[in-house]
Amino acid sequence: MTETTWDPTAPGILRLPSGRLLRGRGLSRPLPPGPLPTYALYLLGRRPAPVPWESRWVRWPDFRLPADRADAEAAFREAWERSATERVEVACTGGRGRTGTALARIATLDGVPPTEAVAYVRAHYSPHAVETPWQRRYVERRR
């Protein structure tokens, strides 16, 4: 591990098949101990509070899908690209539905087939990731 990446054993860390690490988390819980993100992708219905690291906001109401899917796809690609050299955090309020859905979409950018991405994230991040049928379909149908 270098200073620019996450500790792979820390809570909330998802290791992609390429070895890239991302941290998923719920913003309703305290910031985990350890290094801060260098970049974060926040998936919320309202603009998040300012943070001392670089971040991007995707408007995404709870239990729904992104308001602007093209913007969301660009944000997923940016998070995936930056995760090669930076500590990238992906977060929503609870850290499960929207975060899990985004992590699954990012996993497809890393080579996980769309039809397997939800299972991958549930196995390697949280068994409760991707909460709704439409979130699952969003992952499976986006190629």
* Topology (CATH) of 13-141: Protein-Tyrosine Phosphatase; Chain A (3.90.190)
User: What's the confidence (pLDDT) of residue 142?
Assistant: 62
Q: Is there a contact between 130 and 105 (Cβ–Cβ < 8 Å)?
A: no
pLDDT tens for each residue of the chain, 143 residues long: 446 789 999 999 999 999 999 999 999 999 999 999 999 999 999 999 999 999 999 999 999 999 999 999 999 999 999 999 999 999 999 999 999 999 999 999 999 999 999 999 999 999 999 999 999 999 998 64
Dist. CA 26–CA 128, nearest whole Å: 12
In sign, the C-alpha dihedral spanning 44, 133, 139, 91 is: positive
Domain edges within the chain: 13-141
